[in-house]
Structure 1
Amino acid sequence: MKAALLFALALAGTLAFAADAPPPTNRFAATIVPAERFEAGPLLVERHGQRGTPLILVPGLGSGAWVWQDTVRQFSADHVVYVVTLPGFDGRKPAAGQMLDGAQRSLRQLIVSRKLDRPVVIGHSIGAVIAMTLAAQDSSLVRGVIAIDGLPVFPGTEMAPADQRSALAAGFKARMPVSDPKAFALQQQQYMRGIGVTDMARADELAKLSARSDPGAMLAAMGEAVELDLRPALPGIKVPVLLIAPYFEPDSSQMGLTREAKTAYYTTLMAGTPKLKVVSIAPARHFVMIDQPQMLADALRAFLKSL
């Protein structure tokens, strides 16, 4: 009886401590303190490093600077690294007008106002689309483009006529954003677990961060990305382009895609790009920088060395 009482008291104390304890730290939330933080139009910009060829890192849908932390660690000693956060994402207020066009113009403003010497623009997902658009419009501004699982046309819509893509985009833009924070957080968790990364514990932590974005801004950006077809402009990119194609066999095998077939598919979508290299990284899902940070760093370093 005495032993049972002691156990109950100990358990009660443990539960009380757990209730008072702060939530566990999100291992992806802590970002490296930048040397400088400023705004370029609607973009938040964080600068790391002091010398070397400048790099501009553009995150994808719903992401912030947290997605690039390993890249910053790997490259800020030899490069001046500018990490941008797009409007509406990671707690930033949405901006009026077309997000993709506004972000591209703001990147141009960043390069010109800071007198950056032909930076290499590295974009993930929708960030890659922004990087390619900038290079297609004025290749003289940049030294090269790295697209991490970002393509000039939304995969699966490449055969659809423009009016069908526009209708699909209108559907995204017309949807009511998820207003319940818990429902939105669950939505982000499902996305990260199904598409984002291979590790479910990492997926859950990343989902908490992407849920800091504005649901309406994410829907609008998705609509813009689905409607866009940048393929006619690809021949205008006169600088080298590196496309990172992630491959995760459990996902791709369901669609009958081998690693070689997926690489060939990505290469086909980039047809017309004068100086293109496609590199497959596996096993990795959409967030290659989380699943395979060292493989990605090696691919980036080799590309930068070739410029």
Structure 2
Amino acid sequence: MIARFVFALTLAAGAPAFAADAPPPPSPPAANRFAATLVPAERFEIGAVQVERHGKGRRALILIPGLASGSWVWQGTARSFLGDHTVYIVTLPGFDGRAPVPGKQMEAAQRALAQLIDTRKLVKPVLVGHSLGGVLALSLAAQRPDAVGGVISIDGLPVFPGAEDLTPRQREQMAQQLARRMAPADQRAFAAQQQDYMRGTGVLDMARADELAKLSARSDPGAVLQYMAETFAMDLRPALPQITAPVLLIAPYFEADASIHEMTEQTKKAYYGALIEAAPTAQVVTVAPARHFAMIDQPEQVNEAIRAFLKKL
């Protein structure tokens, strides 16, 4: 942005006198404060995902963004841990300008994560996932228990909340209905959806919500709907006993939202605990006040919870 500004000034200085009456060129758009700013030590493709590597240290952390998110969502977290850990941030297919893949999006993402662990010979990495990324982390830890050293899920549950009592067929049917009902007419409608979501569910601050929405709107609308449908249809609870690594579930809590459902901080913690209890070593901590993107609303609380978890491994 600075370079473009200097270039504009240079043009103005060298223009003939009559150009002074012309309207000034439009100002460049303000930088989005949540856009990715960390320069990775390495960026590469593996399977269906893009990977950025930051730092160099002991046990690796693999940061997995949630729905319609890119590496930008983990910038603050990466800064906090790259001094002591090798941090890998992945961007899933269909998100943040990346093309979706044919077939099941979640399966392709999980294969790529497993390939990252295998090809880089990562020893017991800790998977840190937000929302859908947390679901992927739990699923991979259940399928590859010997390869995963820990799971941290920020508001990513083994079954979609409110759907835990549905049969698999009912979840599948509702998932397809949900995808059809939410299908945007065009990219502009999708951007409006993202803004509504960020303002209503994503974060507490409306200015932050609008900036984050501009970034999430770079994702492919069809892929977002497919991920939603696939995740809604999943129930990982039967697979949780296969996880041998410790699990930390971070539950954001915002009283103004939770009071609508007559849910206190303790009852929400208990509810999340009931959904994850089949994992042999699991704990739930709450972060408040925070909405779904807890690492944006309360980065210090989230980082402290992650740090305390890592110290116990």
Q: TM-score, normalised by structure 2?
A: 0.91
Q: How many residues align?
A: 293
Where does the alignment leave 5 or more consecutive residues of structure 1 unmatched?
Answer: 1-12
Aligned to 2:15: none
Does 2:91 match 1:94?
A: no
Which residue of 134, 146, 152 maps to 1:146? 152
Letter of the 2:33 partner, please give it. R
Distance 2:84 2:36 in 1: 22
- Between the aligned partners of 1:36 and 1:286, the Cα distance in structure 2 is 29
Judge conservation of contact 2:187–2:221 (CA < 8 Å) in 1.
no
The aligned counterpart of 1:294 is: 300
Render the CA deviation track for 1:203-224: whole Å, top value 9, x for unaligned: 0000000000000000000000
Q: Is the 8 A contact 1:31 1:65 kept in 2?
A: no
Would the aligned equivalents of 1:55 and 1:79 in 2 still touch at CA under 8 Å?
Answer: yes
Tell me the equivalent position of 1:6. Answer: none
* Pairing 1:186–2:192 present: yes
1:235 counterpart SS class: helix
Q: Name the amino acid aligned to 1:251.
A: D
Aligned positions of 1:257-296 closer than 5 A:
257-296=263-302
- Equivalent residue number for residue 247 of structure 1: 253
Three-state SS of the structure 2 residue aligned to 1:80 is strand
Corresponding residue of 2:90 = 84
**Distance verdict in 2 for CA 1:230–1:256, change over 3 Å:** same
Question: For 1:51 and 1:273, how far apart are their aligned partners in 2?
Answer: 28
- Residue deviations 1:35-75 (CA, integer Å, cap 9, x gap): 00001111000000122110000000000000000011000
Q: Which residue of 2 aligns with 1:208?
A: 214
Could you say if the C-alpha distance between residues 172 and 255 of structure 1 is closer, same or farther in structure 2, counting changes exceeding 3 Å? closer
> Which shifted more, 163-172 or 197-206?
163-172
Q: Take 1:200 and 1:176, find their aligned partners in 2: how far apart are those partners?
A: 22
Paired residue type of 1:84: V
Aligned-partner Cα distance in 2 for 1:137–1:87: 21
Q: Secondary structure at the match of 1:245?
A: strand
Q: Match for residue 122 of structure 1?
A: 128
Partner of 2:32 in structure 1?
A: 26
* Per-residue deviation, 1:149: 0.3
* C-alpha displacement of 1:173: 4.5
Q: Which residue of 1 aligns with 2:109?
A: 103
Shift of 1:174: 4.3
Residue 30 (structure 1) shift = 3.5
Distance in 1 (alpha carbons) for counterparts of 2:186 and 2:104: 25
Question: Which residue does 2:11 correspond to in 1?
Answer: none
Aligned with 1:47 (options 50, 53, 78): 53
Give the letter for the 2:264 counterpart: T
> Aligned pair in 2 of structure 1 residues 131, 49: CA closer, same or farther (>3 Å)?
same
1:56 equivalent in structure 2: 62
Q: Deviations over 1:242-279 (max 9, x none)?
A: 00000000000111000000000000111211000100
In structure 2, list runs of 5 or more residues that go unmatched.
1-19
Question: Given the alignment, which residue of 54, 78, 81 partners 1:75?
Answer: 81
What code does the residue aligned with 1:57 have?
Answer: L
Letter in 1 for 2:273: T
Quote the offset at 1:172 in angstroms. 3.7
8 Å contact kept, 2:36–2:71: no
What amino acid maps onto 1:228 in structure 2? M
Structure 1: distance between partners of 2:239 and 2:186? 40
Match of 2:10 in 1: none
Question: Residues 268, 176 of structure 1: CA spacing in aligned structure 2 closer, same or farther, 3 A cutoff?
Answer: closer
Residue-by-residue CA offset, 1:68-118 (whole Å, 9 max, x unaligned): 000110000100000000000000000111111111111110000010111
**Does 1:231 find its partner at 2:237?**
yes
Given that residues 59 and 85 in structure 1 are in contact (C-alpha distance below 8 angstroms), is that contact kept between their aligned partners in structure 2? yes
SS state of the match for residue 85, structure 2?
A: coil
Rounded to whole Å, the distance in 2 between the matches of 1:226 and 1:195 is: 17
Give the percent of matched residue pairs that are identical in Structure 1 and Structure 2: 60
